[in-house]
Amino acid sequence: MLRIQTEGRKEAQLLHLAHSPHPLETFEQHRVVLAVIHYFSEQYHKPIAIPEMSRLLGISLLHIETAFDLYKGKTVNQALLEYRLNRLCDLIGRDPSQEIGEQIRCCGLSSEISPGLDSFTETNDRFIACFGIDLIAYHQQCFLAKAARLQIQAKTTSIDGDDEYVGSPSQSNRLLTRFHNPA
């Protein structure tokens, strides 16, 4: 009886070890995810077919899907969509004066079947699901922030460099760091 219990425990331990990722397997998953994300970074503005990407990277589709599932907790298509939405955020933040539809196309989010309003609506729904804010509202916030930055920049360049603000360090002290204090 004791022998059966011991064998059962050993079997359970082996089963547990078989299902827990080995550090080398985790490294491989990480390597696969990094390779795919690097591919996304270079090709996100173009249509990406995951099987074609798999072939180009020389990594099986099963390995890619498994790595993303285990390492990132999402599918490759979800990761690609998230990557593109993040690039859209960056693009809108950098240049809110550009048309939103053009920015959507630049990030590979426009549908080739219906590039107009349907594409915007679909992207907006995905944007809200990912970031919790509407594309138009985010665009307006970025536009206002850029206008405020430009206004501040215009004020600071119009003021003579010799004038000091109340409470601000003098020009000579601003150039010094704690390593350059005159002793």
Distance of CA 141 to the CA centre of its chain: 19
Query: Which pLDDT tens digit goes with each residue over 106-161?
Result: 999 876 544 455 688 899 999 999 999 999 999 999 999 998 888 888 887 765 55
Find all residues with CB under 8 Å of 91, minimum gap 6, and list them.
98, 103, 106, 107
Helix axes of 76-94 and 23-43: crossing angle, nearest 10 degrees = 50
pLDDT recorded at residue 154: 83
- Kindly state the average pLDDT of the residues 47-57: 94
Tell if the pTM clears 0.95, that is, is over it: no
Distance CA 162, CA 86 (A): 42
Confidence at 2, pLDDT banded by 50, 70, 90: very low
Query: Tokens 């002290």 identify what position?
Result: 173
